[in-house]
Amino acid sequence: MTDKASTQDRAAFVARVGGIYEHSPWIAERAFDSGELPDFLGEKSRTAFGELRSNEEAKALATALATTLSAASVDEKLALIRAHPDLVGRAALAGELTEESTTEQSSAGLDQCTPEELERFQVANAAYRERFGFPFIMAVRGADRQTILNAFEQRLLNDEDTEFKTALVEIDRIALLRLEALVAE
């Protein structure tokens, strides 16, 4: 493959999956550069990348991306965690979320909070950030507001290391769900 073709393939890959991890296209870039992508993205098919044909392909790609993330530095992982918006936070209320985050928060009914629920989320977000120094992260697709609020309460009892690891697990789960959504498209 020529350098020009490789550059074009990389750009196409990053354009398609660079947003899977919130504001962190570096994960897709590194995964591509590592050469450790799933077989279905082998040299011959990379130029045609654009469609995931099955949930199995989505899972295989999610695993490759998660492996790339796991090799990142602690500072890079923390920056990724901090790139995520608060649930029902300022960005959501101002309509500034990514399309994916908007869809995910809406699927959990977070765009339909009562004033009391909104207050609970704001208090929970502030308490969580105060305790851990980063936003509460949860793959909320398929959850409801009460489940999410309960998770806030439970996870506020954790230590910082546990929450750091939990945030990364949730981020990888969000990435998988986002890739599976690409199959549905």
Q: Which residues contact 131 (CB under 8 A, 6 or more apart)?
A: 156, 160
Top-level class of domain 78-173:
mainly alpha
Average pLDDT over residues 58-75: 97
- Of 77, 84, 141, 155, the catalytic one is 84
pLDDT tens digit string along 18-51? Answer: 999 999 999 999 999 998 889 877 654 444 455 7
pLDDT tens digit string along 131-165? Answer: 999 999 999 998 999 999 999 999 999 999 999 99
Does the active-site annotation cover 23? Answer: no
Amino acid found at 147: T
Average pLDDT, the chain: 88
Given pLDDT bands bounded at 50, 70 and 90, which one contains residue 2? Answer: very low
- pLDDT, residue 64, reads 96
Domain residue limits, the chain: 3-72, 78-173
Count of alpha carbons within 13 Å of 60, Cβ hemisphere only?
14
